[in-house]
Amino acid sequence: MTAIDSTTAIDVSRTVAVVGTGTMGQGIAQVALVAGHPVRLHDAVPGRAEEAAAAIAARLDRLVDKGRMAASDRDAARGRLIPAGTLAELADAALVVEAVLEQLTVKQQLFTELEKIVADDCLLATNTSSLSVTAVASALQSPGRFVGLHFFNPAPLLPLVEVVSGHATDDEAAGRAYATALAWGKTPVRCADTPGFIVNRIARPFYAEAFAVHEERGADPATIDAVLRESGGFRMGAFELTDLIGQDVNEAVTRSVWESFFHSTKFTPSLAQRRLVESGRHGRKSGHGWFSYEEGTERPLPRTQPSAAAPEAVVVQGDLGPAEPLVGLIERAGIAVVREEGDGSIALPGGAELGLVDGETAFEFDDGVVYFDLALDYEKATRIALSTSDSTLRTMPGAVEEAVGLFQALGKDVSLIGDVPGMIVARTVAMLADFAADAVDRGVASGQDIDTAMRLGVNYPAGPLEWGEKLGFGRVCALLEALHERYPTGRYAPSLATARRARANDEAGSR
Q: Which residues are catalytic?
A: 129, 150, 162, 200
Closest CA to 147 of 131, 181, 123: 123
Cα–Cα distance measured from residue 155 to residue 384, given in angstroms and rounded to the nearest whole number: 35
Are 83 and 90 a contacting pair, CB within 8 Å?
no
> DSSP letter at 246?
-
Cα–Cα distance measured from residue 387 to residue 399, given in angstroms and rounded to the nearest whole number: 11
Are 97 and 17 a contacting pair, CB within 8 Å?
yes
Residue 459 neighbours by CB distance under 10 Å: 12
What value does the CA radius of gyration of the chain take, rounded to a whole number of Å? 26
Cα–Cα distance measured from residue 242 to residue 248, given in angstroms and rounded to the nearest whole number: 9
Closest CA to 29 of 86, 98, 128, 76: 98
Are 208 and 181 a contacting pair, CB within 8 Å?
no
Give the number of residues written for the chain. 511
Strands across the sheet containing 123-126: 81-84, 39-42, 15-19, 93-98, 123-126, 146-151, 160-165, 187-192
Burial (Cβ within 10 Å: 0-12, 13-18, ≥19) of residue 71 = exposed
E strands, 307-390, are 313-317, 336-340, 345-347, 353-356, 369-372, 383-388
Are 219 and 230 a contacting pair, CB within 8 Å?
no
Cα–Cα distance measured from residue 283 to residue 277, given in angstroms and rounded to the nearest whole number: 9
Are 505 and 473 a contacting pair, CB within 8 Å?
yes
17 bridge partner residues: 40, 96
The Cβ-side half-sphere exposure at 297, using a 13 Å CA radius, reads 12
Q: How far is CA 332 from the centre of its chain?
A: 35
Burial 323-340 (b: 16+ CB within 10 A, else e): beebbebbeeeebeeeee
The Cβ-side half-sphere exposure at 427, using a 13 Å CA radius, reads 29
Cα–Cα distance measured from residue 213 to residue 289, given in angstroms and rounded to the nearest whole number: 17
